[in-house]
């Protein structure tokens, strides 16, 4: 995340809940030439019993002008599950 300059408008494009998913997102964004930052985030989700549990997830952040290219690459790679809706 430190690679982004101060004042740069960045947005979260993807939230990966599993390591394998995060790795696939990294490969896809790298192949598309999209610069990104990753931030580990704690999120609260219901478990199988309906109780809330905290999990760690990888948030993928990009510069706003790269949003269309990143989204197109992730959709083409069938990585839509964690795509952040605009």
Tell me the pLDDT tens digit for each residue of 1-57. 666 767 678 899 999 999 999 999 999 999 999 999 999 999 998 888 888 989 899
Distances (CA, A) of 50 to 1, 2, 8, 53: 34, 37, 39, 9
The answer to whether 15 touches 59, Cβ cutoff 8 Å, is yes
Check residue 1 and give its pLDDT.
62
What is the value of pTM for the model shown? 0.85
Check residue 8 and give its pLDDT.
74
Check residue 33 and give its pLDDT.
96
């Amino acid at each position: 995340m430190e690679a982004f300059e101060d004042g740069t408008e960045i947005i979260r494009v993807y939230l990966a809940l599993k390591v394998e998913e995060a790795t696939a997102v990294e490969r896809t964004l790298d192949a598309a030439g999209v610069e990104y930052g990753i931030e580990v985030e704690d999120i609260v989700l219901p478990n199988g019993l309906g109780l809330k549990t905290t999990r760690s997830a990888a948030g993928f952040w990009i510069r706003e002008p790269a949003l269309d290219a990143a989204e197109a690459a992730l959709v083409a790679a069938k990585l839509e599950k964690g795509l952040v809706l605009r």
